[in-house]
Amino acid sequence: MSYFPISARDIEALVKAVRLGEEVKPSQQAKRDVFRDYGILGTEKDRILTAIYYDIWRRMGIIDRIASEVVGVKDVAILDPWLRAAIRVAIELLVFERFVRDSRYRDFREILIKYLKGRIAKLLSSETHPYVGVYFWNIVDLIARYKWEPKDLYEDWEYRYMISRTVIERIVSLIGFNEAKKLLTEFNRVYPICVRVNLLKSSVEEVLKALRSEGIDTVVGSYVDTVVKFKGPYNFDKSKLFKEGKIVIQDEAAALASILLNPKPGEVVVDMCAAPGGKTEHMGELMRNQGVIYAFDIDEARIKRMKELLTRAGITIVKIYREDARSAVDILGGGVVDKVLVDAPCSSSGTLMKNQELRWRITEDSIREAYTIQYELLKTAIKLVKPGGRILYTTCSIFREENEDIVDRILREFSDSIKLIPLNSPFDQGFIPGTMRAWPHRHKTLGFFYALFEKVGV
């Protein structure tokens, strides 16, 4: 009998991580928190369990449909959160997980069932009610007997690419069938860890040398020369570079945003949706800690993370407001700032390779709601900025409604107040000339959209 790579305790950690992942965003933060508590973070098992955890989120829509069939409910949202998490893990392990189909582990299906009926059923009993543990014990047998087959082409694509029908249909309508397959395939590629070097505290050369001394193969970004990429896992909790604020976790496409806005030392800048602070911190670097950045956000937990980041990075010019950025004019006044970053709340559809839970949560309603907020934020930004001042509008969405459609509406309604400053590199032109898009399948970054405006007149 071959060595089985996961234990009952490991499955318990997965259940707890999936349970926490419904509350803590992004879901990888929940995974890191639980894996740290269980001593998994940075160990040999980290890679295996992380892969399973992400597979659960990638397949969540299909998993929840199976759970609905097995349990006999229309929507798994009505289930106890602990039971829901345990059922999701059980379905992934017994229906989809490669260990079940691997001939080397042919004897371990029964061991998995034993783990689930034993330690996981006890976990549910202790966290909820003894009846829930007993109920799960019986559900495990139904899951073990379940055979999944796609009912139509889109279900087959949902399984193949692990992305919802809603997103797939939108991508096809946006870029066509053939290119859609390339983008959907890219969303399932394992992306490297990206960090940006804090030039106020270090240099690219120093960071590369330190990482390579740890045996880590590194690559400098193709579009932002202060970004360093490497394969995970990487334990940031134990990283001296991270703890000393010499590196900041940030994707290359996101790192370009602050560079495009180009805030100068001594300027007054507003970051309208600032937390958890990666772009705020970067602007503070570019301003060399001279001037002021007014950072707005409403999420207390994310603001806490931003404060920790700014302290770690040594950025001292940020004034934080726990306020809706749409009230920024009432707080700061109109026509008083040099630059505004509107990194707007969005569907985050360009980040599906890293934010696995979004694959099944993006809906038509959520896109419409984001559009409304994005439009209102840009209107506020126009009031905030001085004549001659600039506004950078960015999203990590690939959908036209959240990007070019917003820009088109703003340009039409405020034609006497703003103009578009063309962006021509380093990524591709958007669907409106002068706007720019980073595409995962073309540029190997997160999907990102950029539009730079300048206020004109008095």
Q: What is the pLDDT of residues 44-54, one digit of tens each?
A: 899 889 989 98
- SS3 call for 333: coil
pLDDT of residue 1: 41
Q: Please determine whether the domains at 8-148 and 193-249 fall in the same fold group of CATH.
A: no
pTM of the model: 0.82
Check if CATH label 1.10.3720.10 holds for domain 8-148. Answer: no
Q: How far apart are CA 290 and CA 308, in angstroms?
A: 20
pLDDT in tens, 165-191: 999 999 999 999 999 999 999 999 989
Confidence of residue 96 (pLDDT cuts 50, 70, 90): confident
Least confident of 87-101, 386-400, 422-436: 87-101
> Which residues pair with residue 297 across a beta bridge?
322
Domain map (residue ranges) of the chain: 8-148, 154-186, 193-249, 252-455
Domain 193-249: give its CATH superfamily.
Sun protein; domain 3 (3.30.70.1170)
Q: E strands within 207-354?
A: 219-220, 227-230, 247-249, 268-271, 292-297, 318-322, 337-343
Asked if 454 and 388 count as a contact pair (C-beta separation under 8 A), the reply is: yes
CA proximity to 329, closest of 272, 261, 255, 257: 272
Asked if 79 and 129 count as a contact pair (C-beta separation under 8 A), the reply is: no
Q: What is the mean pLDDT of residues 132-149?
A: 92
pLDDT in tens, 324-376: 999 999 999 999 999 999 999 999 999 999 888 788 889 999 999 999 999 99
Q: What CATH number belongs to 252-455?
A: 3.40.50.150
Residue 107 has pLDDT above 80, yes or no: no
Question: Residues of the chain with pLDDT > 70: what percent?
Answer: 97
